[in-house]
Chains A and B, each alone.
Chain A
């Protein structure tokens, strides 16, 4: 059976890791390559880079970061943040990324999902969805969660699956940063109809939260940033904890 994946996410700005300063053994803690290697050595199943650079020029530095990472890290690498064209995707894949994650560009022009998945294969097209609950419905937010759209999250996710997305990276904006657990209600609703894998994101704070994401949220993969960066929980601890509870995990 395929294993539940644990994915650390690194926020990268202008080629430097923004969070993640607590690894004392790293020569340069701000170097995304070193951080990615650290996570890979400690059992991460994949690595995710989120580019939060403000300007387009600085986005080019991401391509170089990916190139350098490919020298050192031999697990799948997903890159997201500000991807807006087939050209962006091609540059990142050619540099050694295995998947790209598209968010705002897909909301603006859903057809980019179809184009990209037909051209590069749907396995490398992840669609990131930032969702927030209003009354009883979840709505999609764009631009790094700053702009509310009129899209219903569940129907949007169904649509992007149809357009050829290979995976959904689902972030709950209600839960993000709260350390109160994933939004398992939203996750399980999505997992029910989704035929492609869903990566849970936003809200994890304890080992139990990882377990609940799998059992209650029915997620295929679990993404976390701050708990790993600030060394509150190590990837090894998560994997041992889940394994003890009979969740299928890679050793």
Chain B
């Protein structure tokens, strides 16, 4: 029995993530309970945690901090018990040490790196729409095996300090990390829950981890 908890700390559309997992479980005959919760007990009892994120980095971090003990519980889950953890969009960015979005802000710091603004150049920001995600690290990447298009909405990107943590890359002005990973911890810059069948497939691979 999979117990998937989508961490609820006031971030935008989390319903779609829940519905995605319910759909995957149903289509693949996987027994699963999918919760949207910030309850520490739910976090503790989960087999898989998903950290969503929409809006500004600091607002999201403050949202996490506002629930007493939530960050500690997430740390225990991911860093001590080493259970599968997936950050989506700003949820991925929060895995970094710091962010440069509207000042300097501390992240969870689980994967070494910094959140930076995409080069402004001639391209439009936010980077919005479908773009190609190319796996770059076959040794660690359990989430996707072939390149495909996924749906992005963001202006900032994860600049990894350790290139081993980059599992896939995408080009928009520059090549940036669209999937990061470290042992049991994954982060995707795009929205798998909005990326049609390939997105659902990625989430399926995650719950199989």
Contacts and interface: CB of A to CB of B under 8 A. Distances in A.
Contacts of B55: 120-121
A40 B124 contact: no
Contact of A70 (B15, B125, B130): B15
Nearest to B131: A2
B147 to A, nearest CB: 11
A220 interface: yes
Interface stretch (B109-117, B161-169, B189-197): B189-197
Given A2-B128, A2-B131, A121 B193 contact: no
A13 B113 CA distance: 49
Interface in B139-163: 149, 151-154
Contact of A71 (B23, B54, B126, B195): B23
B91 to A, nearest CB: 14
Interface residues on A, range: 20 to 34
B131 A74 contact: no
A40 B130 CA distance: 14
B129 A5 contact: yes
A124 interface: yes
A175 B100 CA distance: 44
Interface string A183-197: 000000000001111
Nearest to B125: A195
B23 A3 contact: no
A220 B129 contact: yes
A220 B125 CA distance: 12
A2 B152 contact: yes
Contacts of A72: 23
B16 interface: yes
B16 A74 contact: yes
Contacts of A1: 131-132, 171-172
Contact of A250 (B15, B20, B130): B130
Interface stretch (A18-26, A93-101, A137-145): A93-101
Contacts of A195: 124-125
Contact of A3 (B20, B130, B193, B197): B130
Contacts of A45: 129-130
B195 A121 contact: no
B194 A74 contact: yes
Interface residues on B, range: 35 or more
A97 B128 contact: no
A123 B19 contact: no
B13 interface: yes
A2 B200 contact: no
A95 B14 CA distance: 9
Contacts of A221: 129
Contact of A94 (B15, B22, B128, B200): B15
A30 to B, nearest CB: 23
B134 to A, nearest CB: 13
A40 B196 contact: yes
Nearest to B197: A74
A76 interface: yes
Contacts of A123: 54, 126, 128, 153-154
A120 B197 CA distance: 27
Contacts of B56: 121
Contacts of B23: 71-72, 74
10 contacts: A1-B132, A1-B171, A2-B127, A76-B151, A93-B13, A94-B13, A121-B55, A166-B128, A195-B125, A221-B129
Q: Which 4 A-B pairs have the closest CB atoms?
A: A121-B55, A3-B130, A250-B130, A2-B129
Interface of A: 1-3, 5, 40, 45, 67, 70-72, 74-76, 93-98, 120-124, 166-167, 194-197, 220-221, 250-251
Given A72-B23, A76-B194, 12 more contacts: A1-B171, A2-B127, A2-B152, A70-B15, A74-B194, A74-B197, A75-B194, A96-B16, A120-B12, A166-B128, A194-B124, A220-B124
